[in-house]
Structure 1
Amino acid sequence: MSKQYVSYNIKGIKCDACDFKDMSIEVEKYPEWLNKPCPKCGANLLTQEDLDSVNRMIAAVDMTNKLLESLNVEIPDNSEETRVKVDMDGTGIVNMELAEDEE
């Protein structure tokens, strides 16, 4: 098993047009939600652009972990975890902000 320097916890689908959201949906199930209508308002729940952005983020995390492992980077014992909240709006543009401690 490779070291995890950077990790992701991507889940949930939310409508950009109304208040519908289902945070139980795992990222592995996202292709099943591609271009599906919102059960409340009918808007597209997951666009191809947003799915492509999610896949690029996952690839970037995987590549970063492989690079850091190949360089034998050590994680300091006193290192801190930083969480980032990611939002998308159907255009494929990714908005990130430091996450408040929710969990």
Structure 2
Amino acid sequence: MARAIITDPEILLADEPTGALDSKSSAALLDVFDDINARGQTILMVTHSTSAASRAKRVLFIKDGILYNQIFRGNKTERQMFQEISDTLTVMASEVGDYVQTNE
């Protein structure tokens, strides 16, 4: 991650950036992402971590290669995002069929 960050890219692609990290290191990395994003850089993160996703401004859910749902942060707190992401994942796991739902 450090090599990618120091090049100051317009878009930072992060595939499971917290996957091999403990919770303290994950939080520190996500804080760095917040700082980078605040400077105007876009971060595209693929993650299975609900905690990491709950810090995003926008979360896309992909199921069987199709956009299933998306959540926009808006004025939601991190805790509210976490809950909405968890709820969506629960529905996705129990539902058959594909659809796109927009929660703005």
TM-score, normalization: structure 2? 0.26
Q: Greater strand percent: which structure?
A: 2
| Bigger radius of gyration among the two | 1
Give the TM-score taking structure 1 as reference length: 0.26
The structure whose residues are more often helix, as a share, is 2
